[in-house]
Amino acid sequence: MAVEYRPGLPTRNDNVSHRHPLREFVLLMSALAFAAAGVFWTLGLAVDAAVGHMSAGTEAAVEDAFRRAGPPMSPADPVRQAQLQRLADSLLACARRARPAQVDLAGDSNPNAIALPGGRIIVMSGLLEHVGSENGLAFVLAHEIAHLQHRDHLRAMGRGIVLVTIAAMLGSTGPDVVGMLGPVNQAQLLHHSRERERAADLAALDILACRYGHAGGATEFFRALQRNERKAPARTAHYFDSHPAIDSRIADIERAIRERGYGAGPLTPIALPAAPASRH
Partner 1 sequence: MEALIFWAGLVAVGFFAGRWNESRHYRSIEAREREWLQLPVTSAKEPLGDADAIVRAELVSGSVVVSVDYFKRMLAALRGIVGGRVQSYETLLDRARREATLRLKESCRGADQIVNLRLETASISTGEGGGVGSVEVIAYATALYRAPQRAA
Chain residues that interact with partner 1, rule: CB under 8 A = 2-5, 7-9, 13, 15-17, 19, 21-22, 24-25, 28-29, 31-32, 170, 172-176, 179-180, 182-183
Q: How far is the CB of 35 from partner 1 (least distance, A)?
A: 9
Q: How far is the CB of 231 from partner 1 (least distance, A)?
A: 29
Which lies closer to partner 1 via its Cβ, residue 17 or residue 74?
17
Q: Which residues contact 236 (CB under 8 A, 6 or more apart)?
A: 111, 225, 228, 229
Buried b (16+ CB within 10 A) or exposed e, 185-223: beebbbbbbeebbbbbbbbbbbbbbebbebbbbbbbbbe
Nearer to partner 1, 9 or 232 (CB): 9
CB of 267 to partner 1, least distance (A): 42
Please state the closest distance from residue 190 (CB atom) to partner 1, in A. Answer: 16
Nearest to partner 1 of 75, 171 (CB atom): 171
Closest distance of CB 8 from partner 1, Å: 8
Q: How far is the CB of 103 from partner 1 (least distance, A)?
A: 30
Q: Least separation, in Å, of the C-beta of 20 and partner 1?
A: 10
For residues 32 and 170, is the Cβ–Cβ distance under 8 A?
yes
For partner 1, give the closer residue by CB, 1 or 232: 1
Of 165 and 228, which CB lies nearer to partner 1 in the complex structure? 165
Which residues are CB-contacts of 119 (< 8 A; sequence separation ≥ 6)? Answer: 63, 66, 67, 99, 100, 101, 102, 148, 153
Least distance (Å) between residue 191 CB and partner 1: 17
Of 56 and 168, CB closest to partner 1: 168
Our CB check for partner 1 shows the closer of 13 and 74 to be: 13
* Complex with partner 1: residue 29 or 46, whichever CB lies closer: 29
The Cα 24–Cα 27 span in angstroms is 5
